[in-house]
Amino acid sequence: NAGVTQTPKFQVLKTGQSMTLQCAQDMNHEYMSWYRQDPGMGLRLIHYSVGAGITDQGEVPNGYNVSRSTTEDFPLRLLSAAPSQTSVYFCASRPTSEAGELFFGEGSRLTVL
């Protein structure tokens, strides 16, 4: 009964390094998304996908890339990390037919020095 699984849970990067946050779901959900959570800012949508091969930008996409080669996986890539990307990242999914309700992973805390 895994649900949405994110790895790693914690990561420290130096400015300019690249990395990928992994997200996998086993619920056969078509819709997947990435949010970042910052103090006093709530959650802001970075990128989302409505199915394999389809991705789109959310509210704060700059500095992030995504791809969706399978229904299960939706990795988030930081090509050149910046201190402004220090945040907690959440992956979430839902069945496209189910309006709005999202199922969240436990989060990945990223620190960029």
Partner 1 sequence: AQSVTQPDIHITVSEGASLELRCNYSYGATPYLFWYVQSPGQGLQLLLKYFSGDTLVQGIKGFEAEFKRSQSSFNLRKPSVHWSDAAEYFCAVGAESGGGADGLTFGKGTHLIIQP
Which residues contribute to the site for partner 1 (CB under 8 A)? 4, 31, 33, 35, 40-45, 48, 50, 56, 58, 90, 92, 94, 96-102, 104-107
Q: Which is nearer to partner 1, 33 or 87 (CB)?
A: 33
Q: Pairing relation of β-strands 87-94 and 31-38?
A: antiparallel
Shortest separation between residue 16's beta carbon and partner 1, angstroms: 28
8 Å CB contact between 18 and 81 = yes
Shortest separation between residue 37's beta carbon and partner 1, angstroms: 9
Q: Which is nearer to partner 1, 54 or 79 (CB)?
A: 54
Residue type present at position 63: G
Distance CA 99, CA 97 (A): 6
Q: Which is nearer to partner 1, 64 or 90 (CB)?
A: 90
Nearest to 112 by CA among 21, 40, 4: 21
